């Protein structure tokens, strides 16, 4: 424990005495005890905006914020995933966690049992609509009269559109989907693809998905503002004070702004028209400026160099200095932790030769991990899925495939199907799964595009 942390602990103990005396050991648990134990137990939900695993690394807006708080106080965040908000509150009151890092609605009913603190936001529901050239945007709720708005049955968005329709005296065509395999993010994707016209979502969820689908407009508010906050128990005021103090001092600092940008501003999807085609630019038989490195590693590891080139193109479009929203770096899109396990760290990640070497070795590792899959083509597809989404989610999907009597050694229609189903609670909470929620569409597209581009390269470029 360094001098800053010791000073903070002394101050907290002093504050506690001003509040009526420090509780004896066993009588209470607040921030001084948390600092002594070096661990902050954090309750949250497994969602695309709070906490999830991607490329075998923990991520999420709420997770990143609490990790920064813990880093400043030299604490280890212990993430405890609950099933729902009611379950989180019960676990908090039973002492199974120190705090909830999630958008808990601010209500009078809860004020007697919790302290609202830390991240405090004002949110609302918005209309999700396409914004392509020539589209006429709805800019006022009255513009929804005569329009079809699709929502999931029994959701708060369903309740809101019905209430809004009543407020307007009718006229909105409320389209309800009753399928339990469709969630709000599926409807947002369907709006982007033109399969439905409109849906409703919370603004933070809509903004996150807008970073994947650039043809969406999510600016029109359709509900009143709702306050939300992190919470702690009422008998942990020092933790509440510390969280409040941290946010008051951090909201304008680069670390906080960087986290907001990562999840709600930085583009995650792309248009194929954005991607250059190097196979036609550099001359016959040349895919990229880095072909000698792909060939070298391909020969060394027994992997077709054109496959390595296709994977690199999908990861970075051959941009050596690039870094994805998730933190994947360089030509082969390596996560720093993965690269470090292969002996590549720091600025070396941006060195084309070293990045390609590490990326090729990682793909070879994955092919070996899934070595029990006898069919080479299937083993490659499943390994590529793990390269993109992480070994954990692919292992979960294979376990689900086996449980539901599909073929865990076949990608299309089998493992692929369960990768996609891991966005649904009934699947990612299945006892055979260990890695929770997963947004699988991007991984499915990744496998398809790497394989199809590899086939194209094989046609155009000699080995």
- pLDDT of the residue at 112: 87
Domains of the chain: 3-114+231-264 (3.40.190.10), 125-224 (3.40.190.10), 272-460 (1.10.530.10)
Mean of the pLDDT values across residues 454-460? Answer: 92
Residue 170 CA, distance from chain mean position: 38
At what angle are helices 305-316 and 441-460 packed, to 10 degrees?
Answer: 130
Percent of the chain whose pLDDT exceeds 90: 83
Which tops the pLDDT comparison, 22 or 307? 307
User: How would you write 116-176 as a 3-class SS string?
Assistant: EEEEEEEECEEEEEECCCCCCCCCCHHHHCCCEEEEECCCHHHHHHHHHHHHCCCCCEEEE
Nearest CA-CA partner of 135 in 215, 250, 40:
215
Residue 441 pLDDT exceeds 50: yes
pLDDT above 70 as % of the chain: 91
330-339 confidence digits (pLDDT tens): 999 999 999 9
- Rounded alpha-carbon distances, angstroms, from residue 279 to 309, 320, 454, 461: 11, 17, 12, 9
Average pLDDT value for the chain: 91
Across 56-70, 264-278, 288-302, least confident range: 264-278
230 near 100, Cβ under 8 Å?
A: yes
How does pLDDT run across 15-26, given as a tens digit for each residue? 444 444 433 333
Per-residue pLDDT of 412-427, as tens digits, reads 999 999 999 999 999 9
Q: Is residue 281 predicted with pLDDT exceeding 60?
A: no
Average pLDDT over residues 96-120: 94
pLDDT over threshold 80, residue 4: no
Taking only the tens place, the pLDDT of each residue in 154-211 is 999 999 999 999 999 999 999 999 988 899 999 999 999 999 999 999 999 999 999 9
pLDDT bracket for residue 133 (50, 70, 90): confident
**pLDDT band, residue 252 (cuts 50/70/90):** confident
d(CA 457, CA 463): 9
Q: How many helices (H) and strands (E) does the chain have?
A: 19, 12
pLDDT for 12 equals 46
Residue range 34-85, pLDDT digits in tens? 999 999 999 999 999 999 999 999 999 999 999 999 999 999 999 999 999 9
Catalytic annotation, residues? 315
Give the model confidence (pLDDT) of 226-236 as tens digits. Answer: 999 999 999 99
User: What are the pLDDT digits (tens) for 348-381?
Assistant: 999 999 999 999 999 999 999 999 999 999 999 9
Model confidence at 268, pLDDT cuts 50, 70, 90, reads confident
Neighbours of 327 (CB within 10 A): 16
pTM of the predicted structure, to 2 decimals: 0.87
Check residue 9 and give its pLDDT: 47
Q: What is the mean pLDDT of residues 128-152?
A: 93
What does the pLDDT read at residue 282?
57
pLDDT band for 428, please (50, 70, 90 cuts): very high
Tens of pLDDT along 389-419?
999 999 999 999 999 999 999 999 999 999 9
């Amino acid at each position: 424990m360094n001098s800053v942390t010791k000073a903070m602990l002394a101050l907290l103990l002093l504050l506690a005495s001003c509040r009526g005396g420090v509780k004896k050991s066993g009588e209470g648990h607040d921030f001084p005890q948390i600092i002594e134990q070096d661990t902050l137990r954090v309750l949250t939900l497994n969602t695309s905006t709070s906490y999830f695993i991607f490329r075998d690394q923990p991520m999420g807006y709420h997770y990143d914020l609490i990790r920064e708080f813990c880093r400043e106080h030299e604490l280890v965040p212990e993430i405890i995933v609950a099933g729902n908000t009611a379950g989180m509150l019960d676990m908090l009151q039973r002492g199974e966690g120190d705090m909830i890092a999630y958008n808990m609605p601010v209500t009078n009913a809860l004020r007697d049992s919790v302290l609202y603190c830390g991240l405090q936001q004002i949110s609302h529901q918005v209309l999700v609509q396409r914004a392509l050239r020539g589209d006429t945007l709805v800019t006022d709720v009255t513009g929804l009269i005569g329009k079809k708005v699709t929502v999931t049955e029994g959701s708060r968005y369903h309740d809101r559109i019905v209430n809004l329709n009543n407020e307007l005296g009718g006229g909105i065509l409320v389209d309800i989907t009753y399928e339990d395999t469709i969630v709000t993010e599926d409807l947002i994707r369907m709006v982007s693809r033109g399969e439905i016209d409109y849906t409703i979502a919370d603004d933070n969820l809509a903004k996150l998905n807008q970073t994947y689908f650039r043809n969406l407009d999510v600016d029109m508010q359709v509900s009143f503002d709702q306050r939300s906050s992190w919470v702690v128990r009422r008998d942990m005021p020092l933790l509440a004070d510390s969280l409040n103090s941290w946010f008051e001092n951090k909201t304008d600092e680069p670390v906080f702004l960087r986290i907001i940008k990562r999840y709600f501003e930085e583009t995650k999807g792309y248009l194929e028209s954005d991607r250059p085609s190097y196979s036609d630019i550099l001359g016959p038989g040349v895919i990229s400026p880095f072909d000698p490195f792909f060939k070298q590693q391909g020969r060394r590891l027994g992997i077709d160099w054109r496959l390595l080139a296709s994977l690199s193109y999908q990861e970075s479009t051959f941009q050596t200095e690039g870094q994805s929203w998730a933190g994947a770096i360089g030509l082969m899109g390596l996560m720093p932790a993965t690269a470090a396990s292969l002996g590549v760290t720091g600025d070396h990640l941006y060195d084309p030769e070293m990045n390609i070497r590490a990326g090729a070795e990682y793909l070879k590792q994955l092919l070996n991990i899934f070595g029990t899959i006898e069919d080479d083509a299937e083993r490659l597809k499943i390994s590529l899925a793990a390269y993109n989404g992480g070994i954990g989610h692919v292992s979960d999907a294979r376990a689900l495939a086996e449980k539901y009597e599909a073929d865990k050694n076949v990608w299309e229609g089998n493992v692929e199907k369960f990768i996609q189903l891991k966005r649904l609670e009934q699947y990612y909470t299945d006892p055979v799964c260990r890695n929770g929620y997963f947004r699988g569409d991007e991984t499915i597209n990744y496998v398809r595009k790497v394989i199809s581009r590899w086939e194209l390269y094989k046609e155009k470029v000699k080995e």
